[in-house]
Structure 1
């Protein structure tokens, strides 16, 4: 992750609040400096514009591809088309985990691997292309809400605060020789159509739902098995319900859109 993106900026805030010294490196490819601008004057915070890898592996659930096992445990190897339209994205996640584990085994470098399921919340980019931000922005603008396929495909949506809590526990509360991977996600499952209807309801939007062709290899189901997280991370489990998290995220995007989509 990068300190200026959604997840990284929230993690920086949490670690600073706990009294840690933070040195961040970011190439600004996916993040925005406005996400950490309020931290720049903090005496324990420093950011460097650069590109580097740090041995804390925050992967996403794409490693499972279009899973045949539901929900997905960490020992499930996934179901991925290595030549499909999404293959570079899926296989890239698998390759990254392999490299981390190779360095751990060969050189003893301590690593922690987590697998992040769909996460949303304030500080998301207005045009990042993810389903939650897409739906909210479309609803607030009164545009058509675009669903790919019939909307029956399911996802598990996790609010950013729950993810950060799990990440911190993974770093602080697990033994050095515990590498993971650990699923960090909300096991409550919703269809994409349900998400669209909820966003329309919470925003009071007049937006209509339109359906577009489903991209090839788009997964039909994604749901984490978080048994390992509960066992290894001190009983961690998500606390924020989808409705409550969406309301906070909607408020954030309302503010951004009121400034013409410009983040400060």
Structure 2
């Protein structure tokens, strides 16, 4: 049994990771300040004697004896991370410093949940880990993009200077149960709008693309990456290379929900990427033949069922 710390453990991805690591027979310490996370996501875990929940902000130093750390704490949707951009970049940078300091002290292995946003609006497609990105350092998204880029730098410097065992995962668009109804990301927005019979809001002309992975596939990738030997530091792309346009996504969700909703178009936000698709060659090679298993329609069906239940309960 390992003792594993998960920052942001009550969030969308963190809650799924807590559940999986407990299922594998570990002791899990969940830390969250509930800015975007929720106790509802982890209610079923509270009676587990090997699960511990602590309300805390990662910008403050934290001390615990642990074997592994997954650093997931940070708002991930533009609506939330742009609400307080200074707090967002503090969470990424100071949170990384505090968790790396803890890992150094207790000799724990630590994984950074980075993001495909480090590639910005990419000029290379699909995006391999060797691509340095095309990021506006002073734009509306830079608090998140540059915060995550700085966190990657900190992780690599702690590794090279202090020998900390690190893993860096670059997570591409992920969806599934436990997303917040007011999450602000495209999948949750479209599903909620469709279920409520409202117009589906597309920013731009709908031709911009994303690649969506179901949360179970991501959790499998994260745990596989953490289990690799010390020479594997990353960054490693974790995403589904199946690409679709925003208009295709909207039409698929309308079809799966049986909604009568229409599609409406609004101006594209500043610095919004035109295309996003991961090159997962390194993940396939290093992570025990890891590859996403759940296709878009299957994953969306699970997610729609979750939101139907959430909306009916409210």
- What is the TM-score when the length of structure 2 is the normalising length? 0.81
Residues in 2 aligned to 1:160 and 1:184: alpha-carbon distance in whole angstroms: 11
Residue 231 (structure 1) aligns with: 285
The 5 A counterparts of 1:252-263 are 252-260=306-314
Residue 75 (structure 2) aligns with: none
1:102-152 Cα distance to aligned partner (Å, 9 max, x none): 111121111110000000000100001000000000000001110000000
List alignment gaps of at least 5 residues for structure 1: none
1:67 corresponds to 2:122:
yes
Offset at 1:228? 0.2
Offset at 1:51? 2.2
Residue 204 (structure 2) aligns with: 149
1:218-245 Cα distance to aligned partner (Å, 9 max, x none): 1000000000000000110000000000
Residue 50 (structure 2) aligns with: 44
1:82 corresponds to 2:137:
yes
1:249 corresponds to 2:306:
no
The alignment of Structure 1 onto Structure 2 pairs a total of residues equal to: 259
1:103 corresponds to 2:161:
no
The 5 A counterparts of 1:120-159 are 120-159=175-214
More off after superposition, 99-108 vs 70-79: 99-108
- Aligned partners of 2:13 and 2:215 also within 8 Å: yes
Aligned partner of residue 215 in structure 1, secondary structure: coil
Offset at 1:59? 1.0
More off after superposition, 94-103 vs 83-92: 83-92
List alignment gaps of at least 5 residues for structure 2: 1-6, 59-94, 100-109
The 5 A counterparts of 1:125-204 are 125-172=180-227, 174-204=228-258
- Aligned partners of 2:10 and 2:31 also within 8 Å: no
1:10 corresponds to 2:16:
yes
Residues in 2 aligned to 1:130 and 1:227: alpha-carbon distance in whole angstroms: 27
Residue 294 (structure 2) aligns with: 240
Residues in 2 aligned to 1:79 and 1:178: alpha-carbon distance in whole angstroms: 25
Residues in 2 aligned to 1:11 and 1:87: alpha-carbon distance in whole angstroms: 27
Offset at 1:216? 1.4
